[in-house]
Amino acid sequence: MGCCVRQWWFIWAEGQEVDSRRVVRNSVKKLIPQMIYEARIQAVIYYHIQVLGKEIHRTVACQTHITLEEYKQAHKCEDAWQQIAQKRWCNEQWLKASRAVRERRLLMGGATHRQGSSSMARYKKHLEKKKQRPVSDVEAYVDARRDERFSQLEARLQEEIEARQRLEQMLLQGTAGLMVDPAASGANASGNANAEDGARVSCLNEDHVNVSIAERPPPGACYFHDLVVQT
């Protein structure tokens, strides 16, 4: 029985080739290692629908293993399916590794998408490559179990800390400035502020992150339009 080969053709959208190539490359890196697993799930679904005449939910299909002969009935490319089933889907060593990966995922509390099916050693190695520095076992463990909302909050807090540090450095060097709100800061009629009252400085940095510090600005500081003093 011959194989059925499908082909897809496409062209890049005008002006989007670089971005499109990046998306395709990232998708392929994820899809290629998963092909053998996805094909097995689809084979189980196809066998139940076309051979047994009944539907099966994908969640159930993921946990269902059929025999070699049943896999061979599940696709038009019988020779290819037989090779895959013999070497992987019905291979006891492969099944053992697959069950171990599944059990490892189920042991994780909370979201599993960060570590996925990777062992902690493998996840730690990828994290070290990402951070470009050594990572402890504890740091890798914590990173694997934090959810996306925490990651976004942590990134925003880090931005605010960096913005605060830049602003403090500018004030210490006397290169940052303040535009005084006379009603809020007690400025005189000419609009000049009294910097001796320990005013609170707040601003938006270049990333539009709100920053505030409570230290007094140094005497003789310049005054710019993007900072506001509030008592």
Domain-ending residue, one of 47, 66, 90: 90
What is the reported pLDDT for 33? 76
- Amino acid occupying residue 17: E
Closest CA to 117 of 134, 129, 103, 105: 105
What is the reported pLDDT for 207? 44
Residue 171 lies in a domain: yes
What is the reported pLDDT for 120? 77
What is the reported pLDDT for 164? 77
What is the reported pLDDT for 224? 38
The Cα–Cα gap between 112 and 135 comes to: 20
Inter-CA distances, 129 with 22, 71, 98, 116, Å:
20, 39, 26, 17
What is the reported pLDDT for 63? 85
Domain-ending residue, one of 67, 90, 113: 90
The Cα–Cα gap between 181 and 183 comes to: 6
Residue 104 lies in a domain: no
Range of the domain at 82: 17-90
What is the reported pLDDT for 213? 41
Residue 205 lies in a domain: yes
Q: How many CA atoms lie within 13 A of 5 on its CB side?
A: 2
What is the reported pLDDT for 7? 57
Q: Residue with structure tokens 């830049």?
A: 166
What is the reported pLDDT for 62? 86
Residue 218 lies in a domain: yes
Residue 114 lies in a domain: no
Q: Residue with structure tokens 């139940």?
A: 48
Residue 224 lies in a domain: yes
pLDDT 10s digit of each residue in the chain, 231 long? 444 555 566 677 788 888 888 888 888 887 777 778 888 888 889 889 888 988 898 888 888 888 888 888 876 666 777 777 777 788 888 878 877 777 766 666 555 556 666 777 888 888 888 888 888 888 887 777 766 555 566 667 677 777 777 777 777 776 444 443 444 444 443 444 444 443 444 444 444 444 444 444 444 444 333 333 333
